[in-house]
Amino acid sequence: MDKDFYVCGIDEAGKGCVIGPLVVCIAVVDKSLLDIVEKDDRIKDSKVLSKKSRIEIAKEYKNKIFYKIQKILPEEIDKNNINTLELKAIKNLLITTKNKFNKRHIKEIIIDSPFKNNDLICTELSKIVDTKISLEHKADRNYKIVSLASIIAKVTRDLEINKIKKKLKIDFGSGYPSDKKTILALKKYGIERFNGNVRKKWQTIKHLSQRRLDEF
């Protein structure tokens, strides 16, 4: 690998779901590969890609880059603010990356930001890594390196969802409240049947508990 510099992208998948984890990913690309990533028209925000495309892209690039994943489980989300947990995950990923590349130059870290005060968060993250940090809303649409992190996070989360389905022997769809299959499964089997994989404090669950399925 060309050791001149590295660029990092950070994004998440599963923030709005009611079943399953939130997955945060950092993707680290070296100078020689960055141009290839930038010119790869397949790489886009994971939400606009088909499942097949995401899997193919993730499989190809996971063998070429350094990446790391942080999973935040429903139980943790029920006990804490989700943005606080995501920030903690980002910090952990930056520490891991810093330790991995401590003698090499990380040129920039670009983060798809869920935060309201990007300047404040940027100052906080700068205490961990001494490099340029950019936090932008919708960065997964504007930077291929962030899109790549988005894709890997999404593929990882989908694998986690499949594991849960297999273990519970319930096909509950995507795990998002916008998915009718997810809502019907929650109503049919009840929250406890999902064995800790449901975010109990989500508004979706409150509605279901009040038997207001018609709202969905």
Residues 12 and 96 in one domain: yes
Nearest-angstrom CA–CA distance, 101 and 28: 10
The mean pLDDT of the chain is 92
- Give the end of a domain, one of 123, 142, 165: 165
What domain range is 195 assigned to? 169-215
Residue 212: is its pLDDT beyond 70? no
For the chain, the C-alpha Rg in angstroms (whole number) is 18
Residue 1 belongs to a domain: no
Residue 144: is its pLDDT beyond 50? yes
pLDDT tens digits, 164-192: 999 999 999 999 999 999 999 999 999 99
| The two structure tokens encoding residue 27 | 């993707």
10 Å CB burial of residue 88 (0-12, 13-18, 19+) is: middle
pLDDT tens digits, 67-125: 999 999 999 999 999 999 999 999 999 999 999 987 678 999 999 999 999 999 999 99
| Of 166, 171, 110, 186, the residue nearest 141 (C-alpha) | 110
